[in-house]
Amino acid sequence: MTVAPGEIHEADVVIAADDLYSVARKLFVDDQPVSSAYVAYCGTVAAELPRARSVDIGEAVVHIAPSCDSVHYGLRGGESLNQVAVFESPKALAGQEDWGTTATRS
């Protein structure tokens, strides 16, 4: 793969997980991605923070609901708490470009 400055990189595997409009994906395939209309937000915080200390990061905890799921689990041997929320976006279902929020335009 050649990057913008002209540097060449070689790898056995490339993971293009940079969203629906992936720049990396276009380097390998020439197809059109299809939106699932689901959006995922994730974040990691230090496990020592007061709110994170109240969570058991020794296990993965999953909450499942219609059109919305969440999971949290420990990372780095319990140093960090990772949280992921996934929801079906009404904006994405409606074909709107600003699909990253749950609220619909009024």
Q: With contact defined as beta carbons under 8 Å apart, do 67 and 88 qualify?
A: yes
**How far is residue 65's CA from residue 94's CA, in Å, rounded to a whole number?**
21
**How far is residue 84's CA from residue 96's CA, in Å, rounded to a whole number?**
23
CA nearest neighbour of 93 among 35, 20, 9: 35
**How far is residue 72's CA from residue 56's CA, in Å, rounded to a whole number?**
9
pTM given for the model:
0.64
Q: With contact defined as beta carbons under 8 Å apart, do 44 and 82 qualify?
A: yes
Output the tens digit of pLDDT for each of the chain's 106 residues.
666 777 887 888 877 776 667 777 777 788 877 778 888 889 999 999 988 888 888 889 999 998 889 999 999 988 999 999 999 888 888 877 777 765 554 4
Q: Can you give the pLDDT at residue 101?
A: 62
Q: Can you give the pLDDT at residue 43?
A: 92
